[in-house]
Structure formats: structure tokens, C-alpha cells
Amino acid sequence: MKISCTHLVLCILVGCSPREELTQTHENVPLIADGFMLDPGLEDGLWATWHENGQKRAKGQFKNGKAEGLWIHWDEDGQLGVAEQWKKGRRDGRWADWHENGAVKSEGRLKDGKREGLWTYWHENGVQQAEGPFVLDRREGAWTFWDEDRDVKAAGMYAEGQQVGDWSFAPEGLREKKDAVRARAETLLQLLRDEQWERAADLVWVDETTRRYLGISDGASPEVRREKVAGFYEGMYGNRGPSSLPQHRYTPGPVRSVRIDPKDPDLAHVSYRCGDLDGFEMRLAEGEWYYSFE
């Protein structure tokens, strides 16, 4: 049976006889899809699809209308893209994808469509990029990241998808981290200027060489999230060196007020309703305080 793509929907709605083979074509392409239908919209058995340029797009099995077993996908150039396992219509089992140059990009396992267990990632040149475990699609436990020269870029722990504890960064990785943090600084300043106090308060301060993150679970209450403001923070101002590293500990408490110095828009005075430090001053323009804003 030969039909055009524009008539595919009509074919499915009208129906095919039990276990009828369905072959779809395009006016300029010999084959778009080929497989069997038990009932309208209920694929069964081996199916294959093609890109409009004639390259094979995907191949795998259906069982009673649901993907089952190994499925393989290719791009329009015929390059292998993804290999995945399905179970009763959900991704479940081994999963891998490839870079455009043919090198493996990532490999791991899925359970009910979510990443689970050990996952490994590679750069386009074949060098390992990252490795660590997932639990319910969130990073958990020890993770390590490498650059394209096989040097360790960063290493540390995750809890419920967030970085926790002490993290170490290689010089190059540290520079990239600071660049990302500096970009978030602009967001923070804008929030302060817009009087978005609660959002501006939700940040974590870190020092120049070691990152200490306070993990907060998704969906935490405002009282719990304020612990980000109440934690232990480190920083360094100007060029006075590590010996002058100020250290402060805050007790929980929402922001009472934030004032931008009209003479210096990069100078903010933050006052907390409770805590052992009131009227804390941060000077973002000097660039020696680095922070993460989530």
C-alpha cells in the first residue's frame, strides 16, 4: 500500500486490517516509514523510519502500540545518533548517544525514563569528560570532570542534584567557574535594584579557591531556603591576600532591607532582621567575592 504523508492521518483514522503492513512514502522519497499495524494507531513488530533525504532515521520494535527493546536513531547524514532501550513504551535500560564526529558522547542507564546509576560523558576528541552517579535523574554522590587534555577540571560531591561540601577546581576550571559566577552577579544586582529582596537573598557565597555549597532540596520551604543566607560564607576583598580573608557566620533571618549606594551602583548594604551581623556590606565591583545564585 502506497500513500502520501498528507494521507497518513486518514489512513490511521480509517484503519488497516489486522496485522496489515503500512508503508509510507513521500513524493520525492522512496520510503518514510515501514511497519505493521494491529489496529488504527497500534503499531506492532519491527518498524523503521527514514529522513526525507532517504537516510534511515530510526529502527526498532513495537509491541501492542508501545516501543519495546532496542531502538537506534540516525541523523540526516547517516551518522549514528542515539541507541536506547524501551520497556512498555518507556525508556528503560542502556542508553548512549554520539557526537557528530562519531565519537561516543554519553552512556548510562535509564529507569522509567530517568537517569539512574553510573553515567559517563566524553569530549568530541574521545577523552572522558565527566563521570558520576544519578538517582532519579539528579546527580548524587562523587562526580569528577576532566578537560580535553585529560586533566581533572573539578571534583566534588552532589546531593539531590546540588553541589555540596568541599569542591576542588583546576585553574582552568576555576576561571570558568568564576566567569559563570560573575555573570550571575549582574542578575543579583538587578534583583536588588528591582527590590526583589527574597530572590536576591537566595544565594551562596564562596571563596576564591574552595567552593562550599549548602545543598537545598527542591521544593524546600522558604524557612529552609533561608539557610542559604544563614550559612557559613567566606570571601576576599581587593589584593590584601588570604591572610585578610573575612569569615562570618549568620543565623537564619530574612532580608530586612537592601540599599544601593546612589554614588556607587555596585555597592549594596544588606540588613537582616535577625542574626549576629546586621548591615552586612558587600562590594561586588572589586570582583574578589564570588558567589553562586540558584
CA-derived radius of gyration, the chain:
27
Using the predicted structure, report yes or no on whether residue 38 has a pLDDT greater than 60: yes
pLDDT at residue 254, as a whole number? 44
79-111 confidence digits (pLDDT tens): 999 999 999 999 999 999 999 999 999 999 999
- pLDDT tier for residue 32 given thresholds of 50, 70 and 90: low
| Separation between Cα atoms, residue 291 and residue 219, nearest integer Å | 22
pLDDT at residue 110, as a whole number? 95
Kindly state the cell numbers that stand for 147.
578537560
pLDDT at residue 156, as a whole number? 82
231-255 confidence digits (pLDDT tens): 333 332 223 222 233 333 333 344 4
- pLDDT tier for residue 179 given thresholds of 50, 70 and 90: low
Kindly state the cell numbers that stand for 293.
545564585
- Averaged pLDDT, 23-51: 67
Long-range contacts, stretch 18-27, CB < 8 angstroms, 24+ apart? 19/44, 26/52
- Helix (H) / strand (E) element for 249: namely strand 247-249
pLDDT at residue 155, as a whole number? 83
pLDDT at residue 293, as a whole number? 30
| Separation between Cα atoms, residue 40 and residue 13, nearest integer Å | 6
| Separation between Cα atoms, residue 144 and residue 207, nearest integer Å | 20
Q: Are 26 and 54 in contact (CB under 8 A)?
A: no
